[in-house]
Amino acid sequence: MEHPPRRHQVIDLDDLSTEEIEEILATTESMKEVLSREIKQVPALRGRNVVNMFFEDSTRTRISFELAARALSANIVNFTARGSSVEKGESLIDTVRTLQSLGADIVVIRHSQSGAPYLVARHFQGAVINAGDGRHAHPTQALLDLFTIRERLGQVRDLRVVIVGDIVHSRVARSNIWGLTRMGAHVTLCAPPTLLGPSQHWLATWPNLTISHSLDEAIKGADVVMALRLQKERMQAGLLPSLREYTRAYGITPERLAQIGEGTLIMHPGPMNEGVEISPEAATAPNSVIEAQVTNGVAVRMALLYRLAG
């Protein structure tokens, strides 16, 4: 049996080699089989303590990490900033040291500040998994998206993937651009100029990347169309004229759903603003894999927790 070098953190996909990503996706498949059993639990992480440290609201990421840890027989504790000593002014570093002293083996952190997981990793001797930090990265989302695409389409290499929406504020977009191009897909970013971000820099960084301001053009021949959540406060900030105009230009409307082929996957990381970036018809279409993304999230997180539990 082969054992990879010990790994202590997954903060973004740029931490991982192509080979490691392949191994994690293969392990995810085995974890998915465990979740299909009557007893959805294996003893691999028995007696380990996992702390879910969430400084920002989350439903699916937090719960799927919790289910993943339990399916591996680890103990899991949920920490939320609200009601904790953070409200009394305890710093992130002190909080992490406290968790260390309490016996945490793995910390899963979600934080609104980009880079917070790096700070945690510097002050924590166990393993650290980033569950989303500011605009920076959301590696477990990108891995579950890679897994879902491969599960449905058989491969990622050479696929044409459109990511549409609020790219500049999106950690999901950033991790997915990295993961998808790394695994050989061609990625088209589609967004209004105000929500695109440093496109020249990105074009220079990723050879498989193109940029489009027309969704109707971008979806022609696409294998995957991934819509991002539009945060409504962006409109108040003056980045968008109106939601209706945004939907007309960049939403997956019923008209665009009809243009997209039936074999083209429709994805969304959630939570959705139905009727804004995606219509209810598109979200529930037969080629929508949005629910599969959520389901696969548990198996992907099991694979990562196992990988980090050396």
Partner 1 sequence: MKDRKQILTADDIRRALVRIAHEIDERNGGLHDVILVGVPRRGVPLAERVAAAIADFEGVQVPVGQLDITLYRDDLRTRGPAALIGKTNIQPDLTGKAVVLVDDVLYTGRTVRAALDAIADLGRPACIQLAVLIDRGHRELPIRADFVGKNVPTSRSERVMVHLREVDDVDEVVIERANT
Which of the stretches 1-9, 55-63, 150-158, 243-251 binds partner 1 when contact is defined by CB under 8 A? 1-9
Residue 68, number of CB atoms within 10 A of its CB: 27
Among 26, 102, 204, 237, binds partner 1 (CB under 8 A): 26
Decide if residue 203 touches partner 1 (CB under 8 A): no
CA 292: distance to chain centroid?
14
User: Applying CB under 8 A, which of residues 3, 82, 88, 201 lies at the interface with partner 1?
Assistant: 3
Closest by CA to 230, choosing from 206, 248, 255, is: 248
Would you give the binding string for partner 1 spanning residues 73-112, x where CB under 8 A is met? ----------------------------------------
Return d(Cα 306, Cα 48) in angstroms, integer: 11
Kindly tell me which residue out of 35, 63, 77, 309 binds partner 1, with binding defined by CB under 8 A.
309
CA distance 53 to 271: 20
Q: Is-contact 230 166, C-beta < 8 A?
A: yes
Give the β-pairing of 127-133 and 265-267: unpaired
Under rule CB under 8 A, residue 35 binds partner 1: no
- Report the nearest approach of partner 1 to the CB of residue 263 (Å): 27
SS3 189: strand
Dist CA 113 CA 56 (whole Å): 10
Please give the structure tokens belonging to residue 253: 């409307």
Is residue 127 a contact partner of residue 15, using CB atoms and an 8 Å limit? no
- Using CB under 8 A as the binding rule, whether residue 41 contacts partner 1 is answered as yes
In the complex, least distance from residue 209 CB atom to partner 1, rounded to whole angstroms: 30
Residue 42 or 196 with smaller CB distance to partner 1: 42
Q: Specify the stretch interacting with partner 1 by CB under 8 A; choose among 25-33, 114-122, 164-172, 265-273.
A: 25-33
Which residues are at the interface with partner 1 (CB under 8 A)?
Answer: 1-4, 6, 23, 26-27, 30-31, 33-34, 37-39, 41-45, 72, 306-310
